[in-house]
Amino acid sequence: MDTKAEHVLSVIRNRQSLRIFDTKAICEEEENALIEAAMRAPTAGNQMLYSMIIIRDQAKKERLSQLCDHQPFMAKAPLMIVFVADFQKWMDYYVRNDVKQFCEGKAFQFEAPQESDLMLATADALIAAQNSVIAAEAMGIGSCYIGDIVEHGEQIKELLNLPQYTMPVALLVYGHYPKDLPRVKRSRYDRRFVVFEDAYQRLDGEQIDAMFAQEDQKFNPQNSVGAENFAQQFYARKTGAPFSKEMARSVRFWLKQWDGRLL
């Protein structure tokens, strides 16, 4: 393997989620480089079904940090970008070019964007986001994904002036690593539980136990929710928690706009 490939793989291996940032600003050249990297990402049909909203306004940063499950560190990030699944621009293009009239009397129906369009747009947005993450890391700039951007849909929609055929799917904060910050490499599940060949393989009980063995070691018998094992404890903290319920409610709010109705 050549040196260039090793460098790229090293950047990927050493990346961590960064929540404490150096006071050094991200310069215009660095910002432009990570934006360009995002825009060079693979995209379905070369449609680029996403938009990036750079949040400059400090008050808006503070508001987003509260709406995204109360995470104050977000507002201290030198750079914040919301990645939005976006079919609005294509719909506006279709309307401007009389696509509805074109469909009349032909074997086409002029429909609103639907769930499949949202899936493609979401993939586009997340691939672009990850390209920016790797580009930033290569420049010594750390980042952290904020998935909570899909919560409080009505308020986020108003705050960011999002039109009908859009949905925020990721918020990223970026900043330089503080000097001498120790790198913490989080463990990942063993490859045999994740990578299959030719078809999906349902894990049996022993394999499930083996996969989550490290997680089970984190169990706190003195937990406040009366959990008897880590699975119960984790469910109470995350999957069944109020913020997850709000996230599910908001996703349903966003989905209502992508209903594929005839226009």
Q: What are the tens digits of pLDDT across the range 90-104?
A: 999 999 999 999 999
Structure token pair of residue 75 = 């507002």
Q: Is the pLDDT of residue 238 over 90?
A: yes
User: According to the model, what pLDDT value does residue 105 have?
Assistant: 85
Specify the amino acid at residue 147: G
Asked if residues 20 and 45 have their Cβ atoms less than 8 Å apart, the reply is: no
Region class of 260: left (phi > 0), else alpha (psi between -120 and 50), else beta: left
Asked if residues 174 and 81 have their Cβ atoms less than 8 Å apart, the reply is: yes
Q: Is the pLDDT of residue 37 over 90?
A: yes
User: According to the model, what pLDDT value does residue 172 have?
Assistant: 98
Asked if residues 78 and 176 have their Cβ atoms less than 8 Å apart, the reply is: yes
